[in-house]
Chains A and B, each alone.
Chain A
Amino acid sequence: MLLLLLLLIPLFAGTAMLFVPIPLLRYLLLLAAAMGHSTCTALLIYQCRRVGWDLAETPAALGGLLHPDALGLVFLALASLLFLGAAIYAIGYLRQERAKNEVHRHIQDGSSFTNAPEQRFLACLCYFLAAMSLVTTTQHLGALWVGMEITTLATAPLIYFHRHKEALEATWKYLMICSVGIALALLGNILFSIAYSPKLPTDTQQMTFYIQHAMGAEKNWLKAGFIFLLVGFGTKMGLAPLHNWLPDAHSQAPSLVSALLSGALLNCAFLGILRGYQVLSAAGLTDFCNTLLVGFGLFSMAVATIFIVGQGHYKRLLAYSSVENMGVLALGVGLGNSAVFGAILHAVNHSLTKGMLFLLAGNILSHYHTYSSHDVRGMRSNMPVSAVLWMGGFLAISGAPPFGLFVSKFILIRTMIEQQQWFYVAVYLTILAIIFVGMSAPFLRMVQGEAPPAVRESYRENIFNVGPCILFGIAVLVLGLYIPQWLREFLNAAAKLAGG
């Protein structure tokens, strides 16, 4: 029942949004859906933990189509938590948007534009959550693919909420690049089926079947299938050189959508790759996957570094930071052993930190009306809470202690040293150092100094626009100092499935 509710709550809420005319009721519905979803997720995790994360004992629904394991549940929990934060933020954000005139002025060129209908925006937001719930709870690669495609279709209207040229350009690139990417992932699914042919699973427990019969599968087809899954879902995950859509979409979407894209959607795509990785590991092809993942991981980090240094657009800066961190995830899994735990922990830390940073970027944009970090000054004086969180977020995302990302990045370095991969250590540390320096300049510039005369008045910080950021910030800080035993067990169970 809980599993069904994970799909039904956002689906029902999304459909109801289209028919609720009163904004306040819509906001309450959104909040109720987010809280209901989070509660169901928490209860589901509790149930699965009680049976020791054993897939044979965990709850299932729809004839086994929904049957979550620890790996999927980690990403479900992140999606649910971020959605709750985004829902709280959305109330303040949408009220603010409604308070403005019907015709808005574009920040960069002053041209006029309108917003998409709020009802449609909220409906798509809920459908997006439903799609992510499907992706993270299924053991069927086909259903996972369907869920991923729905995320593309549900988020495209979200990116185009502000109906101006740049948002439309970003939406089209996102639609085309991700649709083609996801189509290639479907090809990967088909190649997996060929590898197992003529023995094919007829029930919904496709992953279990694939893992159990992996040794009998045709290895070359499995390898080809994994390459297509990696390229397909890697496009959606933002791995370089397939990341072109990401900076555009993240920078043009409303900040709460950017937070969800970066903190939740990219993880879902990563899960698609991990499913392929599970199958190939069972077939004894771990080394093949590891080589590819390490290569893509380091390359993504390197490409992101080039664009982070000297980046003046602070939302694009955060987007490129996502490319870098997706590279870290791929690298962690590719290294194997304890680095897989590090990668899963990194996914948790990155989602919370990036969720916080994008929501804060929304506050900055709303107050300063500029995307340029050169034009934002004096945050500490006129938006003090956001400024503290912004600096904390910078330290966290760049891997400085005592935040959670320091721990997860450190685990990766430790594994590289244990494996005596000195070249990787050198490249990894060099990239992290450059990124730290590259990001510090715009972040410090924005916080310090004196605010421009046009924005001297203080920004009204309230529970909606800084509340979720404070919670995410505290969570990342706590994870850097102490990981509760139950969470460690949970992440360990997930890492074990991904070869850790």
Chain B
Amino acid sequence: MTITSILQISIILLLLTNLTMLTVQRISSLIRLVALQGLLLATFLLLLKHDGDLIHTLLMAGSIVAIKSIGFPWRLRVTMRSVASPDLVSSFRSYKLSILAGFIGLIFSFWLETHLTLTQSIYPPLFFPAALSTVFAGLILVVGRMKALSQVVGYLVAENGIFLLGMPLMVKGSTWFELSLLLDVFVAVFVMGIAINHISNTFDSIDVGRFCNLRD
């Protein structure tokens, strides 16, 4: 199997995880899928940078797996256990609408790729639309889901998409930045986890639909 075919399979897997995330109704499934996306991200990095600086590539791939596939899911599961919330995503609107929005995002991403210069020279085939539609899927989860935990997963998915878009542009001297970025997002998830614990204690739920105290 060639590198290109592994890459294409990984891209298709990524697209499938995006669409599946918009359909699943259990938070634990969302967490599993976001962990899988972390693994896919590390795979992409190894495949795209196989001719670059090996130490840099391995360091980054290791960090991605450690933080995105192990760290985040662990933190989210700990939070889920501590708040003892029902393992249900709960959507503001119907799930069908989320899937429709996801498809529109995907079609728009493909359309955009054909209308922008440079994408073909920077990104392998299908990579750009896959990354951009990941950003859209994340945003749909943030906006469309009621449980605070699902919103955090949405934020992580969007961040995965942005990370993917930046991946082919990583340069040797910017390892510090990429690691800072990963650390930043890790701390963000940590802080969000603490906030979710407080939400659960204060509101007896992690349903952000209950947030209606602050209005003009």
Q: State in angstroms the CA–CA spacing of A145 and B216 once bound together.
A: 31
B135 pairs with A187, CB closer than 8 A: yes
A220 pairs with B116, CB closer than 8 A: yes
Q: State in angstroms the CA–CA spacing of A343 and B142 once bound together.
A: 34
Q: State in angstroms the CA–CA spacing of A457 and B195 once bound together.
A: 39
A169 pairs with B214, CB closer than 8 A: yes
Closest to A108 in B: B213
For this complex, into which size category does the number of interface residues on chain B fall?
35 or more
Q: Which of B135, B162, B165, B187 has the most CB of A within 10 A?
A: B162
A170 pairs with B214, CB closer than 8 A: yes
B162 pairs with A160, CB closer than 8 A: no
Q: State in angstroms the CA–CA spacing of A153 and B184 once bound together.
A: 9
- Is there a chain B Cβ closer than 8 Å to A163's Cβ? yes
B192 pairs with A165, CB closer than 8 A: no
For this complex, into which size category does the number of interface residues on chain A fall?
35 or more
- Is there a chain B Cβ closer than 8 Å to A218's Cβ? yes
Closest to B208 in A: A172
A176 pairs with B151, CB closer than 8 A: yes
Among B32-40, B63-71, B169-177, the one that faces the other chain is: B169-177
Query: Chain B contact residues: over half helix, strand or loop, or mixed?
Result: helix
Nearest-Cβ distance from residue A72 to partner chain B, whole angstroms: 18
A146-B180, A156-B195, A176-B151 known; A165-B213 Cβ under 8 A: yes
List which A175-204 residues lie within 8 A (CB) of chain B: 175-176, 179-180, 183, 186-187, 189-190, 193-195, 197-198, 200-203
Q: Which of B135, B148, B184, B198 has the most CB of A within 10 A?
A: B184
Q: State in angstroms the CA–CA spacing of A338 and B187 once bound together.
A: 42
Task: From the candidates B122, B172, B195, name the one contacting A202 in the complex (CB within 8 A).
Answer: B172
Nearest-Cβ distance from residue A65 to partner chain B, whole angstroms: 8
A153 pairs with B188, CB closer than 8 A: yes
Q: State in angstroms the CA–CA spacing of A42 and B111 once bound together.
A: 52
Q: State in angstroms the CA–CA spacing of A316 and B148 once bound together.
A: 25
A169-B213, A247-B216, A316-B216 known; A156-B162 Cβ under 8 A: no
Beyond A146-B177, A197-B121, A218-B118, 17 additional contacts (C-beta under 8 Å) are A146-B181, A153-B188, A157-B191, A168-B202, A172-B195, A175-B192, A179-B188, A187-B162, A190-B166, A193-B169, A194-B118, A194-B122, A202-B171, A221-B118, A248-B214, A251-B214, A307-B216
* 12 pairs, CB–CB < 8 Å, chain A vs chain B: A142-B181, A152-B188, A160-B195, A165-B213, A168-B195, A168-B198, A171-B195, A180-B155, A197-B118, A218-B117, A218-B118, A221-B116
